[in-house]
Structure 1
Amino acid sequence: MQELKLPETLKRNVHEFVENLKELYRDDLISIALYGSAASGEFIETHSNVNLLIILKNTNLPTLELSRKLVNKRSNRRIEPLFLSHEYLLNSGDVFPIEFLDMKENHTCLYGQDVLKEIKIDPKNLRFQCEQELKSKLILLKQQYLKINPKDRTALANLLFRNLTSALHILRNLVRLKGKRPSYKKEDVLKEVSLEFGVGSGAFFKILHAKKNSAALKAGDFKTLLAELTLELDKITEIVDKL
């Protein structure tokens, strides 16, 4: 297994997890891949989980039941396994282009066949998912905003930063629509989106800065930033709608 850039304890846990899966599933196990922050270099020791994609010949419930004890073992609580069949993976790129492209571009094959290399994504499906998620996000953000006490700075901050994180995830994929591989670092993604689509990224940078200095902000500051975020997302949605 390849050397992982993880804390030693987690590294040992992942190694044992992989070895146990090999013993449990034997010939039914096709591949195990590390993806997410642990593969991209964005792993944060204090709260990031380790995402593992596990490809089996079959993922019916009796098959999954074999790994129940392993998955729920206390030492594996920070390991998040995703069990898929090979067929499901290859046939679902049209439905989950964002998720599978993220995996494809940032993964490490730990065992077996590197199946993520086989995934092919139609840019039309990627554009559709980006538009759908942007519009859904805007609707939900506005609904949630109205339900929050305007003086509750904690609730406002949570709404702001939660939507920033998910928006950045979509923005990374907008860069892919231009035929380019996006950066993983947040600041670089914002610069790339600004360059490729001609939109300002000032509001996003303000929110990133606020996240690092949130203790100094009042409820009114978070309301202002939420308004700016909503305006920027509206502009970006209009651009994507015309692509």
Structure 2
Amino acid sequence: MPEINISNKLKNNISLFVNKLKERFSDDLVSVILYGSAASGEFVDRRSNLNFLVILKDPGTSALKKGAEIVGKFPAFEPLFLTEDQIDRSTDIFPIEFLDMKENYTVIYGKDCLKDINVDTGNLRFQCEHELKIKLISLRQLYLKSSRDKRLLLHALLKSFTSSLHILRNVLRLKGITPPYKKDLIIAGLAKVVPIEVPVWERILAVKNKNEHLNKDSVDLLFLRFIEELEKTADLVDKL
């Protein structure tokens, strides 16, 4: 196995996982690729999942049935079963996801199926704008219906914060900036291209990292401030 910065226990589990895939799928297995935080060195044991791209010659329903028998034994593993052709025909629809894969991945077994994929920046801009605006609509609707439930607001805020940074690191890519992986560096990079209120983002990050506790009034205020911040970023993407 290629050298990756995770525990020996997880490495052994990955080897076991790949061996079971090879046994079950034989020549139909083209490649097993580890991507995301484990490949980038940002993996946090017991808090992060291991993301795999499993490339098969035929990932039909029979393959799903075979795969389910294996995947169920590895609850921390998140595999995506695709063919090479499906990857080629999906980069225009999921540019963020495939760029993220291509940026941080390690081939565990077989062919490198990500090396030569190409993503059109026009499709990337569209997906960034679409997802930011969908997120804004969802947050506004949640606040209208559930503003009294501060626990729900806080949960939604932290979840949306993480997924928004995932989108916004690709906005940096659209601006010609190599996107960092760590959340604090994404915020710093974003501040260079959008007039965001950095303390708002840093405070949410502190809460997410359990370095700060919010009272009910602070949850409400920070939730609304975050909506304002996302509006700024959505406006930027709309003008790119």
Alignment of 1:73-88 (within 5 A): 73=73, 76-88=74-86
TM-score, reference length from structure 2: 0.94
Q: Does 1:229 align with 2:226?
A: yes
What count of residue pairs does the alignment treat as equivalent?
Answer: 240
Bigger shift: residues 7-16 or 78-87 = 7-16
Alignment of 1:1-243 (within 5 A): 1-73=1-73, 76-150=74-148, 152-213=149-210, 216-243=213-240
In 1, Cα distance between equivalents of 2:107 and 2:34: 6
Query: Which stretches of structure 1, 4 residues or longer, exceed 4 Å deviation after superposition?
Result: none
TM-score, reference length from structure 1: 0.93
Structure 1 residue 197, shift from structure 2 partner: 3.6
1:170 counterpart SS class: helix
In 1, Cα distance between equivalents of 2:147 and 2:225: 19
Bigger shift: residues 176-185 or 105-114 = 176-185
Q: Which 5+ residue runs of structure 2 have no aligned equivalent?
A: none
CA contact (8 A) 2:195 2:232 kept: no
In 1, Cα distance between equivalents of 2:168 and 2:71: 33
Q: Aligned partner of 2:198: which letter?
A: S
Q: Which 5+ residue runs of structure 1 have no aligned equivalent?
A: none
Q: Deviations over 1:46-84 (max 9, x none)?
A: 2211111001111111123222321112xx111111100
In 1, Cα distance between equivalents of 2:31 and 2:102: 14
Structure 1 residue 213, shift from structure 2 partner: 4.4
In 2, Cα distance between equivalents of 1:215 and 1:186: 16
In 1, Cα distance between equivalents of 2:210 and 2:65: 45
Q: Deviations over 1:65-111 (max 9, x none)?
A: 222321112xx111111100110001110000000000000111111
Identical-pair percentage: 45
Q: Deviations over 1:194-223 (max 9, x none)?
A: 113444433211211233347632111011
